[in-house]
Structure 1
Amino acid sequence: MQDINRTTLTPPSFILNGIPGLEDMHDWISLPFCTMYVVAMVGNCGLIYLICYEDTLHRPMYYFLAMLSLSDIVMCTTTLPNAFCIFWFNLKVINFNACLAQMFFVHTFTVMESGVLVLMALDRYVAICYPLRYTTILTNSIITKAGIMNLFRGVMIVFPILVFIKQLPYCHGNTIPHTYCDHMTVAKVSCGNIKINAIYGVTVVILIGSFDIICITVSYTKILRAVVSLSSADARQKAFGTCTAHIGAIVFSYAPAFFSFLTHRFGSHTIPPSIHVIVSNLYLILPPTMNPIIYGVKTKQIRECVLRLFSGSKEKSHSISLKIH
């Protein structure tokens, strides 16, 4: 593949070079990522199936969990199979439009995942602070509208990125030192002015990240106040227990994402490029891998449904309990 020498020409394709400096170790690096991908797919598909199959899980909390699982599946499936093609078969060429599509899905569903975590925090707030009005506040109609608005938010935020990338001239070549098409990694291949790309990317992360984290923080502050005011120690323990899985999901989602963002923009001269790429892949595969495990271990109803499913029991409960498990 020859470099593109004319500034007005958009390359027909890019070359994804994998993990720079560690090309000889691609086979070994692929093993943990492949294992995590299999766990993520089995876990998240299993959760979605379980939520659809079990009537006892037809509640707002589990509908939001299904949204989280769907976002996780799209996020890792958009990138990991392409990385495996690079690692195992040395298939590095990606069409320009396919690169844009990959970029769109990666960033849109990353934004969506953050939005779903906010919705789940609000769900826990309503469940603990207004338990008797839980099902009347979070109706199926409200949940559907919230999911659609979350998708709309992601699309509207990411669409300008595609426009910026499409308009850039590419005269520095068409080789991308990454395993997938990330916004700023692709922009840096261009010989044009990418200042607007950098400003927009930082603005989106700061505004959307800050807004979502503030919403989650406010929700859990109110939850903490409500839980502390409970007279029964057993009730406090159950209330805290119903939030631990969500808190774990927040940690595994935001920690690697912010680390990747900060090192990519402020640590580019001190941290090796290979670390950037590995962390960028981790923040897309770690949450999908850990979320089903966390919710499977910490959520009593999911554990019971899994045991009932594997035991071959056909009995399904059609009553919806307002008790917090």
Structure 2
Amino acid sequence: MKSTNTTNIKDFIIIGFPGLLPKYYGPVSVLLLIVFLAIVIGNVFILTVILLERTLHRPTYLIFFHLAMTDLAFGIVTLPKIIARYWWNDMISSFNVCFTQMYFVHSLGAIHSLILLMMAFDRFFAIWFPFKYPLVFTNKSVSIACCLCWVLTFIRMMGIVLHASTLPYCDLNIIMQCYCDHISITRLGCGERVSYVKLVAVGNAMVTLLVPLTLIILSYFFIIVAVLRMPHTQRQSKVLSTCAPQLFITCLYYVPRCFVYLANNLGFQFSLVVRIIITMTYSLVPAAVNPVIYCFKTKDIKQALRQRFNNRKISNALRYDK
């Protein structure tokens, strides 16, 4: 059968959570707004703390800085539109806007994955090669590496999005998702090339997720081996305390994704609503929770905040005495 090369649709309709009754639109929009505010306030707070505190101008915290930027950007890219859908019933997204959102959703996800890999490498070098670590992981080298993660990923994802845009979109324009992503959009494509475009995207997604994940697992495996070989319990606990926040952040990002991937391949089927809820959970919860982990699980950030708070108390006390 000969495929058409004509795209007939100009807009996509974002459904969000299929089957949700109108009486729940208000509570859902409020919940999404709370998540959005948590992501914005929490990550802006972390970015500000790292930027202002000179004691945190070190490679590990520069990596945290870039991770917080990806979390903040992802929340800004995805949540306002779905909040507007349930608050003002704004379901329409233009063709170009939807593809732009898809571009940033997948780019930011891939960048996040690479930043997590850099976090793992940072701890691996610090523990296995403590004397070479200051030479390899400098502020300059980490900044360059993080910037390359952003630039190269944006260039690579441009190809994936442009590839999807070459498909004709004939009649269907309903997206059963809370934001525009590659699967939801290409599912609406028509013609003979749809399966090929999907295959290229799946291959890219596997490389984006599985290659960094494999290297992250190997890094933390060798870190655990190094910890077990340490003679003193106190030293072991110190190393684990520095790795625990990063490991927890990594698990928050990867475990739900791997669960969904394995479930699909083992034949366990989710309903559409459950799938969307799981997707939103693993996409947004880490972005909202990560700032809390930075503050309460990272010793240097806690110390910097405590010092700043104490300095402010002293300053206010002196002003009051005057």
Q: Which amino acid aligns with 2:217?
A: T
- Tell me, in whole angstroms, the C-alpha distance in 1 between the residues paired with 2:116 and 2:16: 30
Listed one character per residue, the Cα deviations across residues 67-98 of structure 1 (whole Å, up to 9, x for unaligned) are 00000111111001111000111001111111
- Tell me, in whole angstroms, the C-alpha distance in 2 between the residues paired with 1:217 and 1:293: 24
Q: Which amino acid aligns with 1:209?
A: L
- Tell me, in whole angstroms, the C-alpha distance in 2 between the residues paired with 1:266 and 1:76: 29
- Tell me, in whole angstroms, the C-alpha distance in 1 between the residues paired with 2:53 and 2:83: 35
Partner-residue secondary structure (3-state), 1:94:
strand
Match of 2:127 in 1: 128
Match of 1:12 in 2: 10
Q: Is contact 2:62–2:143 with CA below 8 Å preserved after alignment?
A: no
Measure how far apart 1:230 and its partner are. Answer: 1.6
For residues 310-321 of structure 1, the aligned pairs below 5 Å read 310-313=309-312
TM-score normalised by structure 2 residue count: 0.89
Measure how far apart 1:260 and its partner are. Answer: 4.6
RMSD: 2.2
State the identity %. 28
For residues 1-325 of structure 1, the aligned pairs below 5 Å read 8-24=6-22, 25-193=24-192, 194-261=194-261, 270-313=269-312
Q: Is contact 2:14–2:175 with CA below 8 Å preserved after alignment?
A: yes
Match of 1:3 in 2: none
Partner-residue secondary structure (3-state), 2:12:
strand
Q: Which amino acid aligns with 1:56?
A: T
- Tell me, in whole angstroms, the C-alpha distance in 1 between the residues paired with 2:5 and 2:174: 16
Gaps of 5+ in 1: 1-5, 316-325
Q: Which amino acid aligns with 1:197?
A: V
Q: Is contact 1:86–1:179 with CA below 8 Å preserved after alignment?
A: no
- Tell me, in whole angstroms, the C-alpha distance in 2 between the residues paired with 1:37 and 1:267: 34
Measure how far apart 1:157 and its partner are. Answer: 3.3
Measure how far apart 1:232 and its partner are. Answer: 1.3
Q: Which amino acid aligns with 2:214?
A: I
Q: Is contact 2:57–2:139 with CA below 8 Å preserved after alignment?
A: no
Q: Which amino acid aligns with 1:210?
A: L
- Tell me, in whole angstroms, the C-alpha distance in 1 between the residues paired with 2:197 and 2:20: 28
Measure how far apart 1:175 and its partner are. Answer: 1.8
Match of 1:322 in 2: none
Change (3 A) 1:85 1:201: same
Listed one character per residue, the Cα deviations across residues 161-203 of structure 1 (whole Å, up to 9, x for unaligned) are 2122211122232221222111010111122242123212321
Listed one character per residue, the Cα deviations across residues 96-149 of structure 1 (whole Å, up to 9, x for unaligned) are 111111011110010000000000001111222223333221112211221122
Q: Is contact 1:16–1:175 with CA below 8 Å preserved after alignment?
A: yes
Listed one character per residue, the Cα deviations across residues 278-324 of structure 1 (whole Å, up to 9, x for unaligned) are 22222221111111111211111111222233344499xxxxxxxxx
Q: Which amino acid aligns with 1:198?
A: K
Q: Is contact 1:27–1:88 with CA below 8 Å preserved after alignment?
A: yes
- Tell me, in whole angstroms, the C-alpha distance in 1 between the residues paired with 2:267 and 2:13: 21
- Tell me, in whole angstroms, the C-alpha distance in 1 between the residues paired with 2:280 and 2:258: 13
Q: Is contact 1:75–1:109 with CA below 8 Å preserved after alignment?
A: yes
Q: Which moved more, 1:277-286 or 1:177-186?
A: 277-286
Change (3 A) 1:266 1:94: farther
- Tell me, in whole angstroms, the C-alpha distance in 1 between the residues paired with 2:158 and 2:209: 18
- Tell me, in whole angstroms, the C-alpha distance in 2 between the residues paired with 1:107 and 1:23: 30
Q: Is contact 2:168–2:190 with CA below 8 Å preserved after alignment?
A: yes
Partner-residue secondary structure (3-state), 2:131:
helix
Q: Which moved more, 1:237-246 or 1:128-137?
A: 128-137
- Tell me, in whole angstroms, the C-alpha distance in 2 between the residues paired with 1:10 and 1:243: 52
